[in-house]
Structure 1
Amino acid sequence: MPGRTSSPLLSTRRRAGSGEERGGASWCYDDHLAVGSMQETMMLNDLPLVPHSPPAIPPPWRVVLFTDFAGEAVIMARQLLEAMGHKLVGIVTSPGPRGRGRGTHLDIVAAAPRGTDVLVSNRPAHWAAMLAPLRPDLIVSASFPWVIPDDVIALPRLGAINLHGGLLPERRGPNSFGWAYRLGDPEVGFTVHWLESGLDTGPILGQLRVPTGDGYFDELLPTLFAQLPGLMAGALAKVAAGDPGAPQDESQAFYASDFDEEYRLIDWGRPASEVHNQCRAWMALGRGGNPGAIGIVDGQALRILRTRVTAGDPTASAGSVLQRDGDTLVVQCGDGALLVPEHAPVSIPAE
């Protein structure tokens, strides 16, 4: 900003007790900090959002990463950016709002490259003033627990892009994978899109899709993660070319909110395929969720952790145990049965 003589981020790190060196990266907590002047903050808030058709700009770019993925993701992002001729100049991570954090922020600090500024903050209103001195060309968000404010999106000359866990526009929001299983989607995946004011609404730069299959979401993660670098490389190439992205079809948009607790209790009278999807949905929750559908089996409440549809006995009553083999159960449903190889006892609070 005009007249600025020092960086809030750098000056904060110089305060006694406010900063450390971890993994060779300079980092700070934004706790009770005064960042920038009121005039500077107002000027940042007045910046217009970057349009989604920036001119093509060759490398190198100065990139700031927003993430709470584990430290391995930081290493992958740095390697990808360097391979494309760009520089990771800053990382923003966060403990997250209550119930939404992953507890990975210290791992991210440790994984940050030497000389990279790292901001650990739960105060979105401070970020624009603290990041402005880094002069980012591009912001990349990948699994971040806060909505990134408009004044931050406006900082980089190329704009900001986001890696969303879910296929847009059908699965916006924090619980996209859970709803994909609940509704029986044939595919799951990731989307890279331009960031704008709306939640997960910006034009799409690329998608990664894999068949949902009959298994559980964690079984798909190795395949998905192996293909993420290619997805991000393609999206960055489109950014370099000035690609505005494909607008999302708002008529297909669905906000994947957290599940109501009423959906947790299994009704064994429903078809086995529906109960299977319910169990899979509760094991594919977004951040901060308490996994596992709950079923009453022989009078005991069980947290159901793994299931598979199998043949049942049409003469048996729903919820009855057709077979026991050690901990493995076969439970009759309204149509067919479920093999339950993994479960755990759970207490249900009295109403």
Structure 2
Amino acid sequence: MNIVFMGTPAFAVPSLDMLVTEGYNVVAVVTQPDRPQGRKKVLTPTPVKEAALRHGIAVLQPQRLRSPEAVAELSKYKPDMIVTAAYGQILPKAVLDMPALGCLNVHGSLLPKYRGGAPIQRCIINGEKVTGITLMYMAEGLDTGDMIAKVEVPIQDDDTAGTMFDKLSIAGASLLKEQLPSLVNGKVKATPQNDEEATYAPNLTREDEKIDWTRTSRQIYDQIRGLVPFSGGFTLWNGEVFKIWAAAIPGNHSMASKEVVPGTVLDLSESGIVVKTGDGTLTLLTVQPSGKKAMDAAQFSRGTSMKPGMVLT
């Protein structure tokens, strides 16, 4: 049986590694083109490409999978099954119809909730306590295909998008390993999704990273950890971007005066920067002033002009 694997970020690597380790015949890997990374814009392969080359598997990197040339190239590998995990492009009908055993997707949410490109981040940003993996057949809609199996994964208070990506990538590979023998033998009964229960998780924008200090401490805390380690949250200080990479889990803070404007710095010490929020305070632990590297509160407090009473906007 010929399997083509499609994926791009580190989230997809455990699923690809599992297929190889279990002896499945992965004839090709499709991933996004190499992109410039870092300040020096070094052309960098995707994590899935690196894994494929490590396993000696042919790699395809079409700019547009729906182009006739890309479809024709893929068809040369005669896939019996296509497995995707966070590939990053919508599969056209010509590709969906190609494998006799269908196209499977390892999706990072409990469908039909959080369809779309950023389910893990948005689960955390929205304060969810549990998420998971859904193994599904792909269809022409956005994550609308029939569901094969699910596994739940709790979200802990100190989890970030990064830690949940790691947990869910392992859970996805395990679920795929568990279900593949039945899928190959055609013994799986898939369940249609209830579209009325669907919610969406579109890719994050710059606006999603901007902190609104009038929100509750918990909402801001969840927003920050849902953006780590990819972009972090940001606010403005003296008109410049001031990034926030970590905050303390909100507890029973002493309530600041309601007359104090949200965003006001109340205290600045080696243990953290205490900022007024819509319902109390939030202690910032790791920050990044404009033009500098990220640093902890102790390092920042020793050399900053920030003072209590200043307002972050």
2:49 matches 1:108: yes
2:141 matches 1:198: yes
With the length of structure 2 as denominator, give the TM-score of the two structures.
0.77
Give the alignment partner of residue 282 of structure 1, picking from 223, 227, 251. Answer: 227
Q: CA RMSD in A?
A: 3.1
Give the match for residue 77 of structure 1. Answer: 16
The letter for the 2-side match of 1:268 is W
1:118 CA drift (Å)? 2.2
1:111/1:98 Cα in 2 relative to 1: closer, same or farther (>3 Å)? closer
1:185 CA drift (Å)? 1.6
- Range moving further from structure 2, 329-338 or 309-318: 309-318
Give the alignment partner of residue 26 of structure 2, picking from 72, 88, 100. Answer: 88
Take 2:51 and 2:163, find their aligned partners in 1: how far apart are those partners?
28
Give the match for residue 21 of structure 1. Answer: none
1:297–1:320 contact (8 Å) kept in structure 2: no
Q: Secondary structure in 2 aligned to 1:180?
A: helix
1:186/1:77 Cα in 2 relative to 1: closer, same or farther (>3 Å)? same
1:225/1:197 Cα in 2 relative to 1: closer, same or farther (>3 Å)? closer
1:72/1:189 Cα in 2 relative to 1: closer, same or farther (>3 Å)? closer
The letter for the 2-side match of 1:73 is V
With the length of structure 1 as denominator, give the TM-score of the two structures.
0.69
- Range moving further from structure 2, 232-241 or 295-304: 295-304
Give the alignment partner of residue 292 of structure 1, picking from 232, 244, 266. Answer: 232
Take 1:249 and 1:98, find their aligned partners in 2: how far apart are those partners?
40
- Range moving further from structure 2, 254-263 or 177-186: 254-263
Give the alignment partner of residue 133 of structure 1, picking from 72, 76, 80. Answer: 76
Bigger radius of gyration among the two: 1
1:112 CA drift (Å)? 2.9
Give the match for residue 122 of structure 1. Answer: 63
1:160/1:229 Cα in 2 relative to 1: closer, same or farther (>3 Å)? same
2:168 matches 1:224: yes
1:202 CA drift (Å)? 0.7
Give the match for residue 106 of structure 2. Answer: 163
Aligned length: 278
1:127–1:152 contact (8 Å) kept in structure 2: no
1:313–1:332 contact (8 Å) kept in structure 2: no
1:310 CA drift (Å)? 3.1
Take 1:77 and 1:269, find their aligned partners in 2: how far apart are those partners?
44
Give the match for residue 322 of structure 1. Answer: 266
Take 1:248 and 1:334, find their aligned partners in 2: how far apart are those partners?
38
What is the percent sequence identity of the aligned residues?
27
Q: Secondary structure in 1 aligned to 2:250?
A: strand
Take 2:119 and 2:73, find their aligned partners in 1: how far apart are those partners?
31
Take 2:237 and 2:75, find their aligned partners in 1: how far apart are those partners?
58
2:177 matches 1:233: yes
Q: Secondary structure in 2 aligned to 1:123?
A: coil
Give the match for residue 309 of structure 2. Answer: none
The letter for the 2-side match of 1:267 is D
1:194 CA drift (Å)? 0.4
2:310 matches 1:310: no
Give the alignment partner of residue 271 of structure 1, picking from 216, 237, 247. Answer: 216
Q: 1:169-210 CA deviation, whole Å, 9 max, x = no partner? A: 110111212321232222123222101111111111222322
1:183/1:331 Cα in 2 relative to 1: closer, same or farther (>3 Å)? same
Take 1:213 and 1:280, find their aligned partners in 2: how far apart are those partners?
11
Take 2:211 and 2:55, find their aligned partners in 1: how far apart are those partners?
50
2:7–2:48 contact (8 Å) kept in structure 1: no
- Range moving further from structure 2, 253-262 or 160-169: 253-262
Q: Secondary structure in 1 aligned to 2:100?
A: coil
Take 2:168 and 2:74, find their aligned partners in 1: how far apart are those partners?
31
Take 1:178 and 1:305, find their aligned partners in 2: how far apart are those partners?
14
In structure 1, runs of 5+ residues without a counterpart are 1-60, 286-290
Q: 1:8-42 CA deviation, whole Å, 9 max, x = no partner? A: xxxxxxxxxxxxxxxxxxxxxxxxxxxxxxxxxxx
The letter for the 1-side match of 2:254 is D
1:162 CA drift (Å)? 1.0
1:119/1:71 Cα in 2 relative to 1: closer, same or farther (>3 Å)? farther
